Amino acid sequence: MTDDTKDFAPSRRQFLSGAAAAGAGAVAGTAASAAGPDPLITEKQPWAQELGAGVDETPYGLPIKYESDVVRRNVEWLTADPISSINFTPIHALDGTITPQGCAFERHHSGAIELRKEDYRLMINGLVDKPLIFTYDDLERFPRENHVYFCECAANTGMEWAGAQLNGAQFTHGMVHNMEYTGVTLRTLLEEAGLDTAGDLKDKWVYVEGADASSNGRSIPMEKALDDCLVAFKANGEALRMEHGYPVRLVVPGWEGNMWVKWLRRIEVTDHAVESREETSKYTDTLEDGTSRKWTWAMDAKSVITSPSPQMPIKHGKGPLVITGLAWTGRGAITRVDVSKDGGKTWETARLAKPGEKMALTRFYLDTTWDGEEMLLQSRAMDDTGYVQPTKAQLREVRGENSIYHNNCIQTWWVNKDGEAENVEVS
Amino acid sequence: GPALAEKFGLGREALPEEIAAWNVDIAPDGTGLPAGSGDAFTGEEVFAEACAICHGDFAEGRDNWPKLAGGEGTLADKDPLKTVGSYWPYLSTVWDYVNRSMPFGNAQSLTADEVYAITAYILYSNDLVDDDFVLSNENFMDVELPNAEGFIIDDRAETEYPIFNVACMSDCKESVEITMRAAVLDVTPEDEGTEAEEVAQTETEAPAAEE
């Protein structure tokens, strides 16, 4: 081990064993040791002689075809139909923190609707001084803000409560995306309607609903509504995608994705929570004794190693290895991520690509050397409240196995000697 | 600090007809309920026509579609059955959700009386009323669902945050054993999702996401 690290170029023998383990594909992936001149260099390649695509070929481009596996995936057995359903962001294959909109997960309750800006209306009613109707154009005339936030489905990792089930970070942790939003603060719009009528705002709520058939109505305490909620119409620089709420969605930083109402059509100031279907039947968390928590809004600190992972095996053999992943918290900023290679016996602190930002995904790296032995990889996030991401056993101790939502447990990947990884639970 | 509220003069006043068209949410205390009524017997007919294809003739659910009745006393079981009767706290939510978002694919097609009748039938299917029960905006608040007291407000700040604050760095445990493997269960879709039909059969052993 110590000897290997001095030698940056692995021996021919190491190279061959690594290639044999991972298959022929690995040969093209390393320049560690050349048996002879590389024809990709010594022979003229077509792309170095012929012409590429013109600038008029692709007015709006998609990723190159060789990246066709970096797509949203569905797990059909999770839901009764694909309309009120979920798909998963390919987080295993992404890096950095910004999620490309085209592969950012979707969760609909009555499908992704097509709503033109011209047909869009936003109503503010209830305990306001003057109920208002806004058009889309009206919204663009209010002062704007830009913020990067993660949106995590309350059910992310929910299938893993009873055990290790789905084999891949995309499926276990991919109900999350992270975008830069542009919009108007909800506070600005509420103040435009006027809140004097509402009186003491401490016990007031806003009820928000979408224009789709499901409506997805949710109650939000006024304190949060006036704090940092955003009525957003742009994400990652462009209009929202249809499936993400075009033309307008609500952004509720740090809180469960269900409350990020898409195709937002109405905001009602009330003196009570509506206790709608999405905050009674759903998005309530049943504990072991049969009682259930309601209004579990914040998403707690969480992390996952995205590579290596079941969909991202180690193909390069022993030697330098980048362990990377994502961490996030709905209660502030990530301050530290630790990584274990032995199932939690010992930990080392990873490097954050950037200091953690409030309610946004944070990228971490552990630049390490793989000795070719089995690993039980784990990551553990910490946030600026002092909260430490728990194990699944710790969560089950408090909640049992039936809470469905809010599973932020430490994930374990078992990496075998061939570099393949599997979703496991450990003692 | 918070700036003084500044008005921009954007938007226009909402008209009463517009508010009435969209403001249809019903509060747990019944606020918002329109005048009307329907009995369980009529509800059975409407349900058979508009709902039973997914939810079953007796609201017991078909295939993977939601079950609306049954599951009494199962909330602390290994596999709880959460229905209107066993889990939902408020009848207002039933009326509101059916009225606004059901039937799936043809929402907002029911009259107020039909929604009262369906709600009455769901109560009957859960053995909470007799088949001649008439539900109306007048007696709506007389009905209390069995799990009305079954919910507590998020208590993570008391039960979890004080104990999830330790980050051991070395010698954290003596041994580590693999106790469960996803590959053994084998329900992850292969490339292109071609395995989906096969794995659908395993759904009873693999707890699915809610819906």
Q: How far apart are CA B116 and CA B33, in angstroms?
A: 10
pLDDT recorded at residue B42: 97
Contacts of B13 in chain A (CB under 8 A): 130-133
Which residue in B64, B151, B208 is closest to A292 by CB distance? B151
Residue A302, pLDDT above cutoff 80: yes
3-state secondary structure of A42: helix
pLDDT recorded at residue A409: 98
Residue B192, pLDDT above cutoff 60: no
* Contact at CB, B152 and A288, closer than 8 angstroms: no
Point out which residues pair with A151 in neighbouring strands.
A177
pLDDT-based confidence at residue A175 (cuts at 50, 70, 90): very high
Q: Which burial class, exposed, middle or buried, applies to A115 when counting CB atoms under 10 A from its CB (0-12, 13-18, 19+)?
A: buried
pTM summary value? 0.92
pLDDT recorded at residue B189: 87
A14 φ, ψ (degrees, to nearest 5): -65, -40
pLDDT recorded at residue A29: 53
Mean pLDDT of the residues in chain A: 93
Which residue in B13, B89, B182 is closest to A164 by CB distance? B182
Asked whether B129 and B119 are in contact (CB, 8 A), the reply is no
* Contact at CB, A389 and B164, closer than 8 angstroms: yes
Contacts for A364 with CB less than 8 Å, ≥ 6 apart? A303, A324, A325, A326, A327, A337, A339, A350, A351, A352, A353, A379
**Residue position matching structure tokens 């009674």:** A280
Contacts of A217 in chain B (CB under 8 A): 25, 100
pLDDT-based confidence at residue B173 (cuts at 50, 70, 90): very high
pLDDT-based confidence at residue B6 (cuts at 50, 70, 90): low
pLDDT-based confidence at residue A5 (cuts at 50, 70, 90): very low
Contacts of B5 in chain A (CB under 8 A): 191, 194-195
* Contact at CB, A158 and B5, closer than 8 angstroms: no
Which pLDDT tens digit goes with each residue over A201-249? 999 999 999 999 999 999 999 999 999 999 999 999 999 999 999 999 9
> Which of these ranges, A1-5, A111-115, A157-161, has the smallest mean pLDDT?
A1-5
pLDDT recorded at residue A344: 98
Query: Mean pLDDT, to the nearest integer, of A337-353?
Result: 98
Asked whether A29 and A316 are in contact (CB, 8 A), the reply is yes
User: Token pair for residue A160?
Assistant: 């893993």
**Residue position matching structure tokens 């309530």:** A284
Q: Which burial class, exposed, middle or buried, applies to B182 when counting CB atoms under 10 A from its CB (0-12, 13-18, 19+)?
A: buried
Query: Mean pLDDT, to the nearest integer, of A313-329?
Result: 98
How far does A69 lie from chain B, in Å, by closest CA?
9
Query: Mean pLDDT, to the nearest integer, of A69-77?
Result: 94
3-state secondary structure of A243: helix
pLDDT recorded at residue A10: 39
- Say what percent of chain B tops pLDDT 90: 82
Nearest chain B alpha carbon to A124: B14
Minimal CA–CA distance to B206: which of A290, A154, A78, A175? A78
**Is-cis flag, bond preceding A247, omega within 30?**
yes
User: Token pair for residue B58?
Assistant: 């007796």
> How large is the ipTM?
0.90
Point out which residues pair with A107 in neighbouring strands.
A86
Residue A12, pLDDT above cutoff 80: no
Residue of higher predicted confidence among A385 and B191: A385
How far does B91 lie from chain A, in Å, by closest CA?
10
* Contact at CB, A401 and B211, closer than 8 angstroms: no
**Residue position matching structure tokens 């305990």:** A127
Contacts of B89 in chain A (CB under 8 A): 275, 280
Which residue in B154, B173, B180 is closest to A424 by CB distance? B180
Angle between helices B40-50 and B112-125 (to 10 degrees): 100
Which residue in B27, B87, B211 is closest to A84 by CB distance? B211
Contacts of A86 in chain B (CB under 8 A): 209
* Contact at CB, B182 and A424, closer than 8 angstroms: yes
Contacts of A290 in chain B (CB under 8 A): 75-76, 80, 150
Residue B4, pLDDT above cutoff 70: no
Q: Does B194 touch chain A (CB under 8 A)?
A: no
Which residue in A167, A192, A402 is closest to B188 by CB distance? A167
Residue B114, pLDDT above cutoff 50: yes
Nearest chain B alpha carbon to A287: B76
3-state secondary structure of A225: helix
Q: Does A250 touch chain B (CB under 8 A)?
A: no
Helix (H) and strand (E) counts in chain B? 8, 5
Contacts of A292 in chain B (CB under 8 A): 75, 87, 150-152
Residue A8, pLDDT above cutoff 70: no
pLDDT recorded at residue A68: 97
Q: How far apart are CA A17 and CA A124, in angstroms?
A: 66
Residue A98, pLDDT above cutoff 70: yes
Q: Does A76 touch chain B (CB under 8 A)?
A: yes
* Contact at CB, B8 and A394, closer than 8 angstroms: no
Which pLDDT tens digit goes with each residue over A146-170? 999 999 999 999 999 989 999 999 9
* Contact at CB, A414 and B178, closer than 8 angstroms: yes
Structural domains of chain A, with CATH: 117-293 (3.90.420.10), 298-424 (2.60.40.650)
Query: Mean pLDDT, to the nearest integer, of A299-315?
Result: 98
Which pLDDT tens digit goes with each residue over A379-398? 999 999 999 999 999 999 99
* Contact at CB, A138 and B10, closer than 8 angstroms: yes
Q: Does A191 touch chain B (CB under 8 A)?
A: yes
Asked whether A300 and B156 are in contact (CB, 8 A), the reply is yes
